[in-house]
Structure 1
Amino acid sequence: MKENKYDDDRFFSQYSQMSRSVEGLKGAGEWHTLQKMLPDFKGKRVLDLGCGFGWHCIYAIEHGATKVTGIDISEKMLEEARKRNPSPLIEYKCMAIEDFDFQVDSYDIVISSLTFHYLENFMDISRKINSCLTLDGSFVFSVEHPIFTAYGNQDWHYDQAGNRVHWPVDRYFAEGKRTAVFLGEEVIKYHKTLTTYINGLLQTGFEICELIEPQPDEVMLNTIPGMKDELRRPMMLLISAKKKSAAAKL
């Protein structure tokens, strides 16, 4: 990983104009589903991996978390996080997720939004997250759906009239680097199969609580042009898991 496209001025400017950047959580198409999957934050220590503008960090504090650590590789992201979502209970750290010190039993909840498809090895990060969680700790995350990442360029196939004909899916089982076009720029991502995500959790000591392929909110379907096409294929995968006890692992 460690590509940091978000500190590029032009790319960051484009990202800052997206609805999820301007409106926060309510501007994220998956939020109406993800919100229901989150655990009770009261009295909990929270780690947000790939925290971006800090929307999930401040949400956790507003719902009773006692401490939140937000990690992001982009200093531009964190500058905005400190401006938009400041709190003495939030510590923002600029670093790659792979470089973070996942100390044993240091957090009760780990969350991550649309970040792990930028990391090459999900098993490694899942193992580290399990280690830093307390017993029965929660791990909730979203990623781009494997059907969305498989082909690579992340765009529809169009007919000669410019109509969206279908979403291409190819090389599904060939995991690894993909060059996608996002906000008009080439971005490196890493395709993983659904098997890799699920087994990565199961094999590193997690119990899967919920798995959802979210559909857009009804309001967005009726107000945002082109949003109804999001019903033709899944774009995101949401998973909630819990750290199993030592006895349960046996």
Structure 2
Amino acid sequence: MKGSELYDDPDFLSGYRQLRRDRLGLNDSLEIPAMNAVLPAVEGLRVVDLGCGEGRLAVRLASGGAEVVAVDASEQMLAAASRHPRVRYVRADLAEFDLPPESVELVVSSLALHYVEDFSGLVGRVARWLTPGGTFAFSIEHPVVTAPLVAADCVVDDYADEGPRQRAWFVDGVIKYHQTLGTVLGVLRQHGFRLNVVDEPLPTAEQVERHPHLAVHRRRPPLLLVSAVR
């Protein structure tokens, strides 16, 4: 099941929403603080949020003064998205979504781009959308997590074999796309981006003590976060 379909599947959506309610995912403890740390001041910026889900990042940016176009393929996620006068939601597949050249100053994406098959094509479009000096900030599942052809806890395997991976995550057959770290960063440079931040957010020992479910994420990095400038 591809990402463009996944979040409208009722069984998946039920499990995912329970995960977020129970705060057992990586979003609150790792991804959100790391993303906030790399974002520029957003007041007055035109922003695109790719794979916006229920709009939490989009609303944070709009509350900081940005004008946000928030894009997602899921009808159910957009129906439940938080509303804000400076957020405009668009239902579209990230593989096809496009904007006029040099029309935004910031493009963001939170844990969505590992569902995109043609990462290079998307990065090329993002480069066209951004004004000179604009920022592309995104988080994805870390390549050491997406790598194994057979999912196994903390085992890095088949790292060099890029392409689709099927995983069981609330439902069977969830498709994500694996690329090496070198490919991810190389594609950005190929499309004219200058790397600003490359981070692998990890839980602290204190966080693990408070939230034992995070312990596995000190054994290997769960996320890759990149900020790059056009």
Shorter-chain TM range is over 0.9
* 2:65 equivalent to 1:68: no
Q: Distance in 2 between matches of 1:23 and 1:173?
A: 30
Matches within 5 A, 1:205-244: 205-216=192-203, 220-243=207-230
Runs of 4+ in 1 over 3 A off after TM superposition: 20-26, 152-155, 217-220
Q: Distance in 1 between matches of 2:22 and 2:47?
A: 22
- Identity, % of aligned positions: 37
Aligned to 1:193: 180
Quick check: 2:19–2:25 contact (8 Å CA) kept in 1?
no
How many angstroms does 1:116 deviate by?
A: 1.2
Aligned to 2:56: 55
CA RMSD of aligned residues (A): 2.1
Aligned to 2:30: 29
How many angstroms does 1:78 deviate by?
A: 0.5
Aligned to 1:98: 95
How many angstroms does 1:20 deviate by?
A: 6.8
TM-score (norm 1): 0.85
Quick check: 1:25–1:55 contact (8 Å CA) kept in 2?
no
Q: Distance in 1 between matches of 2:158 and 2:36?
A: 32
* 2:73 equivalent to 1:86: no
Aligned to 1:137: 134
Aligned to 1:176: 163
Quick check: 1:32–1:217 contact (8 Å CA) kept in 2?
no
Deviations 1:117-154 (A, max 9, x none): 11112111111001000110010000011100000444
Tell me: CA distance 1:230–1:29, structure 2 relative to 1, closer, same or farther (3 Å): same
TM-score (norm 2): 0.93
How many angstroms does 1:234 deviate by?
A: 0.8
Q: Distance in 2 between matches of 1:50 and 1:211?
A: 20
Quick check: 1:139–1:241 contact (8 Å CA) kept in 2?
yes
Deviations 1:2-30 (A, max 9, x none): 64111011110111112378699972532
The gaps in structure 1 that reach 5 residues or longer are: 157-166, 244-250
Aligned length: 229
